[in-house]
């Protein structure tokens, strides 16, 4: 990453799912000294604070296939505007979640500035459900589908016309919990997925090398990293809402971040789904900040 100016944007929303606590993720990550760590690497860090997340007295959107739709739209619209503003200032947006539904806003804000954006989705889940396929109606399982133009119009049009990204520009790394409707969509749209099976067989070095080569072949003009902490094995990141055993190791994750930094292709990033209520002494937030350090150039020697 050549940009030495970083803007931290907090998105303290838990409306994309039903477990409270992930709205405190940005605070937990800040408590783990994210600004200080990045400043020590020579970055000029500006903490933009948190977008405003309202708390309605009565919620009547829980028995639908789009839970908390109104609130998610409001949050993601704000986030889209803020990310676009930061990009317009020539700064690197580093978004702190919040649940993964916030990626709808992040990608919408980025799409205004990139013609052919690439996305690395580091996650145990594909997040490619639509209202028709979602088993839960939780919007944090839908952000990639929304970003390729599938789903409710109020979501897909946030920040401008759909789609925000091309299916062929997406790489999912670490998938191990994929719903039937998502599998069908992956095949239909030709989305590149490296499951834990591929990571075990090929190794993380090969996965990242192939991913970089693939995105270069696609001639992307930027690459966004969306890292869900549940992509990592819950042994290392217990403070997530939807833990899935058998995930990527701590060291494999650092290697992935280090290789992406060496290639200098990441132009924006978000780290999501840190839930301090479910955590052990802020362990998951500490892992998130450590991985940010590796992504942004921290070296062992």
How many domains, in total, are found in the chain? 1
Structure tokens at 52: 């405003």
- The answer as to whether 41 is a domain residue is yes
Residue pair 11/49 in contact by the 8 Å Cβ criterion: no
Catalytic residues: 100, 123, 125, 127, 140, 228, 230, 273
d(CA 4, CA 8): 13
d(CA 102, CA 68): 13
pLDDT at 100 over 80: yes
Task: Sort strands 92-97 and 192-195 into parallel, antiparallel or unpaired.
Answer: unpaired
Q: What is the mean pLDDT of the chain?
A: 96
| Sequence-ordered list of residues with C-beta below 8 angstroms from that of 109, at least 6 positions apart, any chain | 79, 80, 81, 82, 83, 84, 86, 87, 93, 159
Residue pair 66/16 in contact by the 8 Å Cβ criterion: no
**Residue 21: per-residue pLDDT:** 96
Tell me, letter by letter, the H, E, C secondary structure of the chain: CCCCEEEEEEECCCCCCCCCCHHHHHHHHHHCCHHHHHHCCCCEEEEEEECCCCCCCCCCCCCCCCCCHHHHHHHHHHHHHHHHHHHHCCCEEEEEECCHHHHHHHHHHHHCCCCCEEEEEECCECCCCCCCCCCCCCHHHCHHHHHCCCCCHHHHCCCCCCCCCCHHHEEEEEECECCHHHHHHHHHHCCEEEEHHHHHHHCHHHHHHHHHHHHHHCCCCEEEEEEEHHHECCCCCCCCCCCCCCCECHHHHHHHHHHHHHHCCEEEEEEECCCHHHCCCCHHHHHHHHHHHHHCCCCCC
The predicted-structure confidence for 155-187, as pLDDT tens digits, reads as follows 999 999 999 999 999 999 999 999 999 999 999
Distances in Å between the alpha carbon of 228 and those of 187, 240, 254? 23, 9, 14
Percent of the chain at pLDDT exceeding 70: 97
CB count, 10 Å around CB of 210? 15
Query: 246: closest CA among 265, 257, 232?
Result: 232
CATH number of the structural domain spanning residue 137: 3.40.800.10
**Residue 3: per-residue pLDDT:** 80
- The answer as to whether 301 is a domain residue is no
Residue 299's pLDDT band, with cuts at 50, 70 and 90, is confident
Domain residue limits at 39: 5-295
pTM: 0.97
| Sequence-ordered list of residues with C-beta below 8 angstroms from that of 7, at least 6 positions apart, any chain | 45, 46, 47, 48, 86, 89, 91, 92, 93, 94
Across 78-105, average pLDDT: 98
- The answer as to whether 300 is a domain residue is no
The predicted-structure confidence for 107-146, as pLDDT tens digits, reads as follows 999 999 999 999 999 999 999 999 999 999 999 999 999 9
Phi-psi region of 271 (alpha: psi -120 to 50; beta: other; left: phi over 0): beta
- The answer as to whether 280 is a domain residue is yes
- The answer as to whether 123 is a domain residue is yes
Residue pair 213/171 in contact by the 8 Å Cβ criterion: no
Residue 19's pLDDT band, with cuts at 50, 70 and 90, is confident
Across 22-29, average pLDDT: 98
Look at the block and give the residue holding tokens 């998610």: 72
């Amino acid at each position: 990453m050549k940009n030495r100016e970083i803007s931290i944007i907090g998105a303290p929303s838990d409306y994309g799912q039903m477990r409270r606590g992930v709205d405190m993720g940005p605070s937990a990550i800040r408590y783990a000294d994210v600004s200080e760590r990045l400043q020590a690497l020579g970055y000029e860090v500006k903490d933009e604070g948190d977008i405003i997340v309202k708390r309605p007295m009565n919620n009547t959107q829980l028995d639908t296939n789009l839970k908390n739709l109104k609130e998610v739209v409001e949050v993601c619209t704000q986030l889209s505007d803020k990310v676009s503003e930061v990009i317009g200032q020539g700064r690197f947006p580093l978004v702190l979640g919040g649940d993964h539904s916030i990626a709808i806003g992040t990608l919408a804000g980025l799409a205004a500035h990139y013609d052919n954006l690439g996305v690395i989705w580091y996650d145990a889940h594909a997040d490619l459900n639509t209202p028709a396929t979602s088993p839960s109606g939780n919007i944090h399982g839908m952000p990639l589908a929304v970003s390729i133009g599938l789903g409710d119009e109020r979501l897909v049009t946030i920040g401008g016309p759909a789609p925000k990204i091309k299916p062929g520009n997406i790489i999912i790394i670490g998938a191990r919990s994929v719903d039937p409707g998502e599998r069908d969509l992956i095949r239909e749209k030709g989305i590149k997925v490296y499951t834990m099976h591929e990571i075990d067989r090929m190794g993380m070095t090969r996965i990242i090398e192939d991913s970089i080569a693939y995105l270069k072949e696609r001639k992307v003009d930027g690459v966004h990293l969306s890292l869900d902490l549940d992509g990592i094995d819950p042994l290392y990141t217990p403070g997530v809402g939807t833990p899935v055993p058998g995930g990527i190791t701590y060291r494999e994750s650092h290697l992935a971040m280090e290789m992406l930094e060496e290639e200098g292709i990441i132009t924006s990033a978000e780290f999501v789904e840190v839930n301090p209520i479910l955590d052990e002494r802020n362990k998951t937030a500490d892992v998130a900040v450590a991985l940010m350090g590796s992504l942004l150039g921290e070296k062992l020697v």
